[in-house]
Structure 1
């Protein structure tokens, strides 16, 4: 019954339809997912949760993918390089540009450097004052009286008396 597949192309477990929960059947798609998530640095419990399996089930069926955790990132980067090289050989201009960036990052990695960050020009530009809204501007004007009028002069004296 191992050669029987369901409508989605996944193999049907041997005890399907019998008592108890059917055993998890690893698929190539799930193996690829686990390899990718290991390469991205995900923990085993997090990967298990993403696949809707328990951590022991993950270790039981995907032990070979979990075993290569130390080199998974390098394998992923190498696979990316191979795909880029295929695009370069096909004459794809955007693949050529990306492959050049790929080579530059690789060269920087060899010499222990990081990708250079673009310079920020914020220090060269003057800092603009923060804009205040219409309501806030009106409220500010209401609390600062116009001393050119008799009423404004009276309000200013009262505010000075309260602040003293």
Structure 2
């Protein structure tokens, strides 16, 4: 058996490895409640709000949304964002990108996401406006052999987050 000396004591290597694996990485750190609320609302809008799922099955996003600089002018206008709002999100984009983003949230129990319906779910790290009242987030979900992805443009109002999601892709 391999033993490691840590802090003057001896600990089996197995426990050191287990402890290291249980520590959250930066991508797994607890996600702020406001971000969790935003993601959950984006999921509900993207899926049509009718799915009873379990967000404990949320996985890592495979990609972040395409760089905003690549969005064509006609698509930019389709998002409903003003040129100033789009430019603000674009200015904040680099700080928001988080490869392998997996939100660590205490999801609302009445609107869980994933397991009960068989959905696998992933979110991109949200891009927030400077005033944190507009967000752009990609929601991907799949069930069986079909999969869907939506780009959600979210706005914060006194009643909470709301918005719309543009179906970005589907595989059936």
> Shared fold (TM-score greater than 0.5)?
no
Q: Which has the higher strand share?
A: 2
- Say which one has the larger Rg: 1
Specify the TM-score bucket, using the shorter chain as the normaliser: under 0.3
Q: Which has the higher contact order (CA 8 A, sep 6+)?
A: 2
Q: Which has the higher helix share?
A: 1
